[in-house]
Amino acid sequence: MTDTLARFVARTQWADVPADVRHEAKRALVNYFAVALAGAHDPTIDKAVKVYGGFAAREEATLVGRCERNDMLNAAALNAMSANVFDFDDTHLPTIIHPGAPVAAPLFALAQTIALSGEALLLAFVLGVEAACRIGNAVSPEHYQRGWHITSTCGVFGAAAAAARAIALNARETAWALGNASAQTGGLVETLGTMSKSIGVGNAARNGLLAALLAQEGFSGPLAPLEGERGFLRCAAARPDFDAITEGLGRDWALRANTYKPYPCGVVLNPVIDACLALHGASPKANLDAVETIELRGHPLLRERTDRPDVQSGRASQVSAQHAVAVALARGRAGLAEFSDAAVAEPALRAIGRRLRFIDEPAWSVESAEVTLVLRSGERISQYVQAARGSLAAPLDDAALEAKLRELAGGHGAFGGTRDGARIDVEALLSQLWALDSAPDAAAVMQLARAA
């Protein structure tokens, strides 16, 4: 199956990709640049830029939203970190892989060192996402439950496949790239809510690109890095679904199952926040002072991933139901400011979060949730969300993704500012992304995304 996947990556042409999947690739890149610009000056990225900069081989690649440049491998890592640092990036269902960061970042770094058209980059992106998500499907949900951060562990294969296609490796070389990637998988769920999580995502982008560049030089890998007796799939899960790698290849595209978040937090919290925003101010009886208990009903995955009371940082709050419920109910908003260190430190929000109680509903979808305010009078006020905003059933449209980029770039109108006062021409960036398939030089996008 490694060979089958490698042949698919090496031989698929842009004409083979359905129109809706082509458009979804552009949507994913609009979202990628939105979240990468948002995270470009987060303290996590500032620290990483400082350290990585000390080892830069050359200044050949742009860092999104910043004036610094770095070598291709380090730029791939840093830009992937930026796009994932707020947990605001795209999400593939049902794996919960965030494919945009580890796959897009190495491609745009590569585009600044070789001649690469927009169409070629988009094709490589589609195929990289396909590889990452198919491998993720084969080990889900057990892989994540065992403590592996699936965006990092499967993202490295996506980055390798994408880079292999961009540099026109043949099928044998692409298989070597996947094998080289298999030697570099890593990332733990235990790191979520900390700066360490970004290392895994950055490494997925960097190491996947490195895997393909090594294969280009004849650096060979194992014959069956995925399905081998001690290959990735059997190591990553006790009962991998081998058919998920090849079944429907070229027909069932992973990008059709990709979603985009309206809130900067774990995707399982989206329906919870939708419900809380609907409850905010819905009735005078819903005054939070009158609430004795808050019941949160949802799929068990919701409790497993987000039962994190009394978090100490904005980073940790991104995966805390207690904080998300409290801040959305109290403020009626759920933007970057609501998942910051300052918001986490508010005693009133902590007090609200302590009233939360989980109720598991195994038959429910992860895209649904119900929040019930149990008042001291005994009255109950509930809000059920069947499909969260941003889910496959209620996706963000193109206009919403454009608005997300405008907002996260730092402003509205023709220009948005970055945190260091530099300016990004948001409208030009959007125009370039929507027309990327006709662009002769994919690197032109990075010129627009650089803080000048």
- Determine the Cα–Cα distance for residues 443 and 117; give it in Å rounded to an integer: 8
- Residue 62 φ/ψ, nearest 5 degrees: -75, 145
Q: Which residue has the higher pLDDT, 188 or 418?
A: 188
pLDDT in tens, 372-401: 999 999 999 999 999 999 999 999 999 999
pLDDT score, position 415: 35
- Determine the Cα–Cα distance for residues 164 and 155; give it in Å rounded to an integer: 14
pLDDT in tens, 342-368: 999 999 999 999 999 999 999 998 889
**What number is the average pLDDT over the span 143-157?**
96
| Confidence band of 416 (pLDDT split at 50, 70, 90) | very low
- What is the location of CATH 3.30.1330.120 in the chain? 267-385
CA angle at 417 for the pair 413 and 421, rounded to the nearest 5°? 150
- How far is residue 115 from each of residues 220, 300, 439, 442, measured CA to CA in Å? 25, 48, 12, 8
pLDDT in tens, 265-305: 988 999 999 999 999 977 655 588 889 999 999 999 899 98
SS3 for 220-243 is CCCCCCCCCCCCHHHHHCCCCCCH
pLDDT score, position 422: 58
**Amino acid sitting at position 6:** A
Locate tokens 């400011």: which residue? 337
**What number is the average pLDDT over the span 312-331?**
94
**What number is the average pLDDT over the span 331-348?**
94
At residue 414, does pLDDT exceed 80?
Answer: no
- What is the location of CATH 1.10.4100.10 in the chain? 2-260+395-449
Contact between 270 and 263 under an 8 Å Cβ cutoff? The reply is yes
What predicted TM-score, i.e. pTM, was given to this entire model? 0.92
Locate tokens 């990553």: which residue? 236
Neighbours of 248 (CB within 10 A): 10
Residues 6+ apart with CB under 8 A from 308: 193, 316, 319, 320, 321, 322, 323
| Confidence band of 412 (pLDDT split at 50, 70, 90) | very low
- How far is residue 155 from each of residues 140, 375, 444, measured CA to CA in Å? 14, 45, 25
| Confidence band of 195 (pLDDT split at 50, 70, 90) | very high
Nearest Cα residue to 57 out of 166, 182, 213? 213
Contact between 254 and 24 under an 8 Å Cβ cutoff? The reply is no
pLDDT score, position 284: 55
Per the prediction, the chain carries an average pLDDT of 94
pLDDT in tens, 93-148: 989 999 999 999 999 999 999 999 999 999 999 999 999 999 999 999 999 989 99
At residue 41, does pLDDT exceed 70?
Answer: yes
Residues 6+ apart with CB under 8 A from 403: none
Architecture per CATH, domain 267-385, reads as 2-Layer Sandwich (3.30)
pLDDT score, position 301: 87
pLDDT score, position 315: 87
Architecture per CATH, domain 2-260+395-449, reads as Orthogonal Bundle (1.10)
